[in-house]
Amino acid sequence: MIPGILERAAGGERISPEEGLLLLERADLFSLAAAAHRRRMALHPGPLVTFVVDRNVNYTNGCIVGCVFCAFYRSLRSRETYVLSREEVLAKVEELVVQGGTQLLLQGGHHPEIPWDYYLDLLSAIRRRFPSVDIHAFSPPEIQFFSRTFGLPLRRVLEELREAGLSSLPGGGAEILVDSVRRRVSPKKASADEWEEVMRVAAEVGLRATATMMFGHLESLRDRVEHLERVRRIQEDTGVFRAFIPWSFQPKNTRLSHLPSAGGCDYLRTVALSRLYLDNVPHLQASWVTQGPKVGQLALLSGCDDFGGTLLEENVVREAGAEFRLDREEMLRLIRRAGFIPAQRDTAYRIIRIFGEEIPTAGSRAGRTEI
């Protein structure tokens, strides 16, 4: 039964939630990864693996939500709470541009004392000074928070942000899109339906997005499949997602610190299933930030066609104990040693530059690993 499901999925046939759960529970890792890699190569023939030069700027760590998995947030009255000024953010964007970066990820806590004009003015200032930078900002829970806090319909929130300079939405805040899980890990954050609503309205106003999944905490394997099913259904109706990024929960310094970290095998199994299940999402991104560069390389042979971003700055996962860092040259080396050609992209997955000094030819090691 499992070989048949893998064969069909690798060939592009849609699998059911029950079949997805069976693969996640019982398929051996090698066969699952091989099927996912075959599907990846059918979707993206050739030896290119993309990456983006980006920076993640967290404009505030002040938050009233208090998710149990978050080591980054601070209460509004904490001495460690901050809100970045427009000038501080612009200085960070300038550093990104100087290093050839094209994508700015803006995300922050749910801070009710920040006015609506702060966000609009910030986006407008970034767009005016750095028109070449794609502003990939504000997760669905942040958008829902803006709507409630400022008494604005979701559509108006998204339209005003887009007019100010927003390019696309990150899929953060998804965690696991199953409310029985969300009530345990993020009870004050947007529900699964509210996360979905933002993505559907974003599609209606002409924005594109990514989707994420943070796994390895209080969810079951069935919950992971339900999450994938919801993402696939949203994509079927809207086409809003450019990419899917699964990453493993980091427990250090959180209220779930007693939980073990998800290992590399669990991560690779989930990545591979994601590629087979999400037959309508174009790109799958490796998460070297949480699993490290070696497992990131293996993800390129388990369904991923993108190596993520150089992340000149990242604070949220780092606070939870993930210390992996890669500069552009190390990222190029890792992609090459996994048997691929690195290509820098922008947020829309348009190729900016191919680093093709070592273009594999027929019969060479393209698609093989040398870790």
Q: Once rounded to an integer, what is the mean pLDDT over residues 158-175?
A: 97
pLDDT of 109 higher than 70: yes
Q: pLDDT at position 13, please?
A: 98
Top pLDDT among 15 and 294 is at 15
CA 337 from centre of chain: 24
SS3 333: helix
The region of weakest confidence among 169-183, 229-243, 311-325 is 311-325
Q: pLDDT at position 329, please?
A: 86
Confidence (pTM)? 0.91
How far is it, in rounded angstroms, from Cα 184 to Cα 249?
15
Place of tokens 């699998």: 15
Q: pLDDT at position 17, please?
A: 98
pLDDT band at 328 (very low <50, low <70, confident <90, very high): confident
With beta carbons less than 8 A apart as the criterion, state whether 75 and 340 touch.
no
Determine the length of the chain.
371
Q: pLDDT at position 84, please?
A: 97
Distances (CA, A) of 306 to 58, 269, 272, 358: 23, 17, 13, 18
pLDDT band at 357 (very low <50, low <70, confident <90, very high): low
In a domain, 50, yes or no: yes
Residue 129 lies in domain: 2-354
The region of weakest confidence among 47-51, 121-125, 185-189 is 185-189
Q: pLDDT at position 295, please?
A: 93
Identify any residues that bridge with 51 across adjacent strands, giving them in sequence order.
Answer: 344
The region of weakest confidence among 4-8, 67-71, 82-86 is 67-71
Tens-digit pLDDT profile for residues 173-208:
999 999 999 999 988 899 999 999 999 999 999 999
Q: pLDDT at position 18, please?
A: 98
Ramachandran angles phi, psi of 64, nearest 5°: -100, 5
Top pLDDT among 206 and 327 is at 206
In a domain, 361, yes or no: no
Q: pLDDT at position 72, please?
A: 78
In a domain, 370, yes or no: no
Task: For residue 325, give the CATH number of its domain.
Answer: 3.20.20.70
Burial pattern 78-96, b for ≥16 Cβ within 10 A else e, equals eeebbebeeeebbebbeeb
- Closest Cα to residue 342, out of 42, 33, 46, 96? 46
Q: pLDDT at position 196, please?
A: 98
Top pLDDT among 250 and 8 is at 8
With beta carbons less than 8 A apart as the criterion, state whether 271 and 301 touch.
no
- 3-state SS, one letter per residue, for 220-249: CHHHHHHHHHHHHHHHHHHCCEEEEEEEEC
Tens-digit pLDDT profile for residues 274-313:
999 999 999 999 988 788 889 999 999 999 999 998 866 5
CA 207 from centre of chain: 16
Contacts of 35 (CB under 8 A, 6+ apart): 6, 7, 9, 10, 272, 276
pLDDT band at 366 (very low <50, low <70, confident <90, very high): very low
Strands 241-248 and 208-215: parallel
In a domain, 302, yes or no: yes
Q: pLDDT at position 67, please?
A: 82
In a domain, 51, yes or no: yes
For 83, which DSSP code?
A: B
How crowded is the C-beta side of 157, counted as CA atoms within 13 Å? 26
Q: Once rounded to an integer, what is the mean pLDDT over residues 333-351?
A: 96
Ramachandran angles phi, psi of 185, nearest 5°: -110, -25
How far is it, in rounded angstroms, from Cα 98 to Cα 72?
27
pLDDT band at 362 (very low <50, low <70, confident <90, very high): very low
Q: Once rounded to an integer, what is the mean pLDDT over residues 73-93?
A: 93
With beta carbons less than 8 A apart as the criterion, state whether 88 and 194 touch.
no
Contacts of 213 (CB under 8 A, 6+ apart): 174, 175, 176, 177, 224, 227, 228, 231, 244, 245, 246, 247, 270, 274
Q: pLDDT at position 370, please?
A: 32
- Closest Cα to residue 370, out of 335, 323, 342, 325? 335
In a domain, 363, yes or no: no
Q: Once rounded to an integer, what is the mean pLDDT over residues 315-330?
A: 58
The structural domain count of the chain equals 1
Q: Once rounded to an integer, what is the mean pLDDT over residues 24-42?
A: 98
In a domain, 364, yes or no: no
In the predicted model, what is the mean pLDDT of the chain? 90
For 261, which DSSP code?
A: P
